[in-house]
Amino acid sequence: MKAILLTLVLTLFSSVNQLDTLRNAFRKAESDKESAVYFNEVATKSDTIQANLQSAYIGASEIMLSKYHDSPIDKLKQFKKGVKILEEAVKDSPSNIEIRLIRVIIQSNIPSFLTYSDAIASDKKFILESYMSSESDVKQFIKTVAKETSVFNEDELKKLQ
């Protein structure tokens, strides 16, 4: 019985640690190629994170890595691959606030000529409306990311307190 309880506790802590590591890697991935590669590795190797959330992070990592290809064709291929994965995660879990946050951050930072910005307004609205009913760790992550980016304006940031 003690062994089962210990296994459950260790699994829970492993899951929390993997998610924290993944979230931190996401926040830093935009800074340079090394960070983007690390984020992709963490996203693809996380084995205790809910599948659709992991897919959203994998899609985001593919999109972030796309800018480091030399060939415009390869950049576009990887970008489209990432978008497909991320959009599938949103489609499968439309009420997951963290997945919607990932998408709004990605869409807000994509060059406009790629025309991948159609869900920014709806994702922001969803996040602002769902924020108060979210789990505390998700709230903290949203608040941190919102302050670090220019996605949310002053009034919106006040709603995320």
Out of 16-20, 95-99, 120-124, least confident range: 16-20
pLDDT at 13 over 70: no
What is the predicted pLDDT for the residue at 1?
55
Task: Over range 21-44, report the average pLDDT.
Answer: 96
| 68-95 tens-digit pLDDT | 999 999 999 999 999 999 999 999 999 9
What is the predicted pLDDT for the residue at 161?
84
**Which residue type is seen at 150?**
S
CB under 8 Å to 104, separation ≥6 — which residues?
A: 119, 120, 123, 124, 127, 151
Unique residue bearing structure tokens 């693809």:
44
Say which DSSP state 151 is in.
S
Triad 131, 22, 144: Cα angle to 5°: 40
pLDDT at 28 over 90: yes
pLDDT at 153 over 90: yes
Q: Considering the chain, what percentage of its residues have pLDDT values greater than 90?
A: 87
Task: Over range 41-47, report the average pLDDT.
Answer: 94
pLDDT at 111 over 60: yes
DSSP string computed for 4-30: HHHHHHHHHHHHHHHHHHHHHHHHHTT
Direct distance between the N- and C-terminal alpha carbons of the chain, in angstroms, rounded to an integer: 42
* Pairwise CA distance, residues 15 & 72, whole Å: 37
